[in-house]
Structure 1
């Protein structure tokens, strides 16, 4: 895990995080650049889902504190407040009713199934939304650099977060060890 002090937006961009919400859900998340995020979900009701090139609003609220928000093709809204110098974040996920009722539809590589996500959003109820506000502890911080397509490049597997934290997943150049 990288030890660094976050001060500017540039310090945040290109950073790879693993965090665990207080409810036990584990996520892996990458600030790919100033408008795009990639992520994998390792625990929780949509564990197994992974996404590349999700458009997001990424801002620095004040020195070392960042807000990231986006809406997925599923209709799920996400708002994350990162406080990486304290190894914590607060996230709120707004799941449409259909995702709560049929989470298995979303447990895939979303980029290859955008049409299915949009069709499901139209076919099933979207309201009431399931609102999940949670604090999380950041358990890994990696300096991947911006626009590194190796960071989130395959489906999540059992033990992947530990492989990453233990230094068995990426090489010194932050490329996937084959």
Structure 2
């Protein structure tokens, strides 16, 4: 996929990315379709967190420039700008105060713990928000196709991004290789 030129929204949808923010946090993110994203967090304050089927607003601002935004059940707001032709992106994460104070609550497969996320959002302070705006370098792009549930399919583990980049995680059809 290194030589692919992103021009349309269809070029972007179905793409699987790994990127590292300038602050060192490493994320894995998948444009599942035109309204849904999946992701795993490998480094930073909430490393170990993973989410599938997160509803999001996904638009193309100009050829090769994509903006994605969503609000999580935690109350965290996210805005991402991808420039895959330049292998860079910018993300701004707006963490509620409770996530900053209790990140361990969110470090799980969120989909199995929506009630806990919503309960914590109501129980703890949400303001002031911790705003984290960062540039990132895209270190991996894979053409997983849309609606592929094998892309973000298990909890993150140490070394997972390296395994993916080295071709040790997915087969030629973008299915999980046997462990």
When normalised by structure 2's length, the TM-score is 0.99
Any conservation in 2 of the 1:26–1:41 contact (CA below 8 Å)?
Answer: yes
Deviations 1:62-96 (A, max 9, x none): 00000000000000000000000000000000000
The answer for the alignment partner of 2:42 in structure 1 is 42
2:58 match: secondary structure: strand
Say how many residue pairs are matched. Answer: 178
The answer for the alignment partner of 1:98 in structure 2 is 98
Structure 2 runs not aligned, ≥5 long: none
Q: Residues of 1 paired with 2:91 and 2:15: CA distance? A: 17
Deviations 1:19-58 (A, max 9, x none): 0000000000000000000000000000000000000000
Structure 1 runs not aligned, ≥5 long: none
Q: Residues of 2 paired with 1:143 and 1:83: CA distance? A: 16
- C-alpha RMSD of the superposition: 0.6
Shift, 1:2, TM fit? 3.9
Q: Residues of 2 paired with 1:38 and 1:124: CA distance? A: 26
- Whether 1:123 and 2:128 are equivalent positions in the alignment is no
- Whether 1:69 and 2:69 are equivalent positions in the alignment is yes
Q: Residues of 2 paired with 1:95 and 1:15: CA distance? A: 26
The answer for the alignment partner of 1:12 in structure 2 is 12
Shift, 1:9, TM fit? 0.1
2:134 match: secondary structure: strand
- Whether 1:137 and 2:140 are equivalent positions in the alignment is no
